[in-house]
Amino acid sequence: MFSWLNIIQVLIIALVVYVFYISFIKNTSSEKLVRGLFGLGLIWAFSFLLPMMHLYLLGRFLHWLALFMSVALIVIFQPELRKFLALMGNIKGWKNIIYAFEKDVNKSSARQKSIDEIIKAVSYMSEKHTGALIVFPEDIDDGVIERMGTKIDAIISSELLLTIFFNKTPLHDGAVIIADNKIKYAGAILPVSQTQLQWKYGTRHRAALGMSEMSKATVLVVSEETGDISFAEKGNIKKYDDIKKVKNKLEKILIK
């Protein structure tokens, strides 16, 4: 019976089989055996489908052919079958798949933690009217940044961001560069936009806009005068009044 649920289940099974084939079977001595088993499975499937279409004789023929091929495969591919069963019991291979999955989960968790830390710092700076300029470049070596500033290469934390942008520190006037889930540089100098802006936009906003005009980077700005939070992207600047929307924007930037 046709249903979307059945189609989804078939797609999930196909995906699992494909991943298993790529991870364990491809380019091994068992590859020919698996292809033979796949062909045999198709013959078995048609031997059951054809009688439903009232093709009884053809269905019966395929049924006996599948039986004969099943025995033949066991005899012909006996060495490969032994290797395949040994491969199925390869604990190390399964561990590698589980490790890769756990690594992706941990990476995603680390990015989410970084977003939470940035939001914590930005919220505080917005409330206290502490100016900030944070760049999320697509390519950190694109040559657009005039001066990279001081190399930090540290894990993202709200405490570190607040320390960098504290107005008594030597790095607070420049931009922070965040890439690869780390604070890479602080005190960076960005190209300033020559576009005519409203009077309320200061040097930080012009630098954010200039960076977004000359690269694919997204730049977060906290205004020292108003505490407003804005994003500059693709030559445009937009203010975000809701901190939840700021978080959603960061998730789109950092979780890809």
Residue 58 included in any domain? yes
d(CA 207, CA 192): 4
Residue 100 included in any domain? no
Same-domain pairing of 176 and 232: yes
Same-domain pairing of 229 and 117: yes
Same-domain pairing of 124 and 241: yes
- Comparing CA positions, the residue from 193, 207, 203, 216 lying closest to residue 143 is 216
DSSP-assigned letter for residue 191 = P
Total domain count, the chain: 2
For position 195, which CATH number holds? Answer: 3.40.1700.10
Chain-centroid distance of CA 69 in Å reads 44
pLDDT top residue among 47 and 129:
129
Taking only the tens place, the pLDDT of each residue in 149-161 is 899 999 999 999 9
Helix axes 78-88, 56-76, angle to 10 degrees: 80
Confidence of residue 3 (pLDDT cuts 50, 70, 90): low
Domain that holds residue 39: 4-89
Same-domain pairing of 81 and 144: no
Same-domain pairing of 124 and 63: no
Segment 49-59 shows an average pLDDT of 79
Using CA atoms, how far residue 242 sits from 38, 127, 214, 248, in Å, is 55, 13, 28, 10
Looking at the chain, list the stretches that DSSP marks H as alpha helix, in order from N- to C-terminal side: 4-20, 31-52, 56-76, 78-88, 91-128, 158-165, 203-214, 243-254
- Comparing CA positions, the residue from 174, 193, 250 lying closest to residue 218 is 250
Confidence of residue 27 (pLDDT cuts 50, 70, 90): low
pLDDT top residue among 212 and 102:
212
The structure tokens listed for 193 are 């936009």
The structure tokens listed for 82 are 């032994």
Same-domain pairing of 220 and 151: yes
Same-domain pairing of 134 and 66: no
Same-domain pairing of 49 and 152: no
Residue 159 included in any domain? yes
Same-domain pairing of 170 and 80: no
Same-domain pairing of 77 and 190: no
Q: Output the pLDDT for position 73.
A: 64
d(CA 137, CA 226): 25
Confidence of residue 81 (pLDDT cuts 50, 70, 90): low
